[in-house]
Amino acid sequence: MSKEKANIAVFISGRGTNLRALILRSRKKNCNYKIAHVISNKKNAAGLKFAKKNKITTKIISQSFLKIEQKNLAKILINKNIKFICLAGFMKILSPYFLNFFKNKIINIHPSLLPKYKGLNTHQRALKAKEKFSGCTIHFVSKELDSGKIIVKKKVRIFKNDTLRKLEKRVLKEENKLYPLVLEKLVSS
């Protein structure tokens, strides 16, 4: 008898490439999780189309995401028995109030080698600083932006002729490989 897969919620704001990677991995027979809910703070996020195409429940939250809405969403996710929340290009900071509902159960993937280049424009800043490496970091979400306990990092070499687009593409490719594998390990532990 196969073990039931853990329910995962993914929060997005945009194109949903990491969401897609998580969904594709979840379809594998030996994968231990399934994407049960996709939350977005943007009603036209491209990732929502992919979620709907895969018959995954979606929900749009307001840009203000006030306490009552946070409480209601937390209730929904708790009732759905969500084991982990994955932030995948979610461009909104979650409040300490919301984080308290899911202590050590919210992870994020960030396009830099944290603690370097927290926040936005990470590739641009790495290129400007003439870094030799960039990459991505998966970490637990804490009250401070991109400062939670680091789970894993993946280095990506920066080449002399790199453009913003080339570097972003290579880092994203590594993100798409790494996120599903790390999630599976966390679900297993």
Kindly list the catalytic residues.
110
Question: Which tokens go with 38?
Answer: 């996709």
From first CA to last CA, the distance across the chain in angstroms is: 20
Q: What distance in Å separates the CA atoms of residue 119 and residue 173, rounded to the nearest whole number?
A: 20
* Summary count for the chain: helices (H), strands (E): 6, 7
Three-state SS at 157 = strand
CB atoms within 10 A of CB 76: 15
Are 25 and 184 a contacting pair, CB within 8 Å? Answer: yes
33: β partners: 6
Are 101 and 74 a contacting pair, CB within 8 Å? Answer: yes
CA dihedral 81, 49, 91, 75 (to 10 degrees): -20
What's the farthest any 2 CA atoms get from each other in the chain? 54
